[in-house]
Amino acid sequence: MKKLMNVPNAIVDEMIEGYAAAYPKYVKVLPENKRAVVSVNAGKPGKVGVIVGGGSGHEPAFMGIIGPGFADGAPVGNVFASPPPAPILEVTRAVDGGAGVVYMYGNYAGDCMNFDMAAELAEMEDIRVQTVLITDDVASAPADQIHRRRGIAGGFLVFKAAGAAADKGYDLDEVVRVSQKANSNIRTMGVALSPCAVPQTRQPSFVLGEDEMEIGLGIHGEPGVERGPLKTADEVSDSLVNRILEDMPVAKGERVAVLVNGLGSTSYMELFVVYRRVAQRLAEQGIEVHRSFVGEFVTSLEMGGCSISIMRLDDELAEMVDHAVDTPMYVQS
C-alpha cells in the first residue's frame, strides 16, 4: 500500500513539523517536546485549558481542532498509539492559565494509563486536572457497560462542547459537567469498507472481501459486530441509525446534532448520500436536526467507510454546538 513518506519512523514528527509550518497563526510546537502542540494563545489567565489527544493517523483529530473556541493543545502519539506522559505534561503546563485543565480522549487502555500518569505529575506541580473519557461507540460494549465503550468520531462534538464551555468562562467543574453531559448524550456507529495500513508495515490492518463490509469495526481495526455483503447506502445508513436510536432513544420533537464522518478514503459524494438518508429517517420520526456536520473529523489513515453520530440536545448543549470556533481544520461562525 503506497504512502508519501520518507523514513516510516519519522513520519509523525515530520507531519507535526509540516502542520506547524502550515498554520503558524494557530499553533506552535513546544521546544521542550516535539510531540507537544499548543495554541499560540495557550495559557490565557483564568481560562480552563482544554487538552485533547491520542494517537496519530486520525487527522484532523486531534491537533487539527486547536484554536479559539475549541482545544488549547494536543499531545501527539505514534500512529494508533497513545502519547506518552512527557508531551502530555508539557502541553498541560503550557495551557494552564491557573483555572485548571481538562483532559479529553477516547477510552483506550494506553491513553487512560498515560494521561493518568501525566495528571498525577501535573497535580504535583499544583495544576488541577480533571478527565472526561469519550465513550460514544455503540458497537464496542453493551448498553449496561457504557463505561467500557471506545471513543470514536462523536468525540468531536464532545470536544466542541468542552471548548465552548471553557471559552465562555466556565470554571473547571462546569466544563467537566458540560463535557460529561455531551458524552452521555451522543452515540456513534460506523461501517468499514476497506482497510488502512500503518506506515511501518504498509500491510492491510484487516481483510475484507471485495464485496464485504463490517459494521462496528473500530478506528484501529478492532473487530466489529457484523460482517456481511456490501449493502446500499440507504441500507447501511438505516442499520447504523437503528442501532443508535435503539441504544439512545430520541423522542419526537427533540433536537439533535448529526455528524457523518469519513474514515479517510470515502468521498464526500458518498458521505452526503449517507447524510441524505439519515436526515430522511430523523424527519420521519419527527426529530429536528439542529446542526449537521459532514466530512472528515476522526479518520483512520486511508480506511474506507464512515460513521454516524447523533447527539441529543437540550438548550445548553445546542448553545455549545453552535459556539463559534476558528481552527486550522474546522471553522464555524
* Grid coordinates given for 128: 488541577
Using a 10 angstrom Cβ sphere, with 0-12 exposed, 13-18 middle and 19 or more buried, the burial of residue 182 is buried
Which residue has cell 502519539? 77
| Residue 78, C-alpha cell as written in the block | 505514534
Contact, 191 vs 306, CB < 8 A? Answer: yes
Distance from C-alpha of 185 to C-alpha of 180, rounded to nearest angstrom:
9
Amino acid sitting at position 48:
V
| Cβ-based burial of 25 (10 A; exposed 0-12, middle 13-18, buried ≥19) | exposed
Among 147, 220, 290, 323, the one annotated catalytic: 220
Contacts of 53 (CB under 8 A, 6+ apart): 62, 74, 75, 76, 77, 82, 83, 88, 91, 103, 104, 105, 111, 115
Residue 220: active-site member: yes
Cβ distance 70 to 50 under 8 Å?
yes
Task: Give yes or no: 147 in active site.
Answer: no
Residues 75/35, Cβ–Cβ less than 8 Å: yes
Residues labelled catalytic: 58, 220
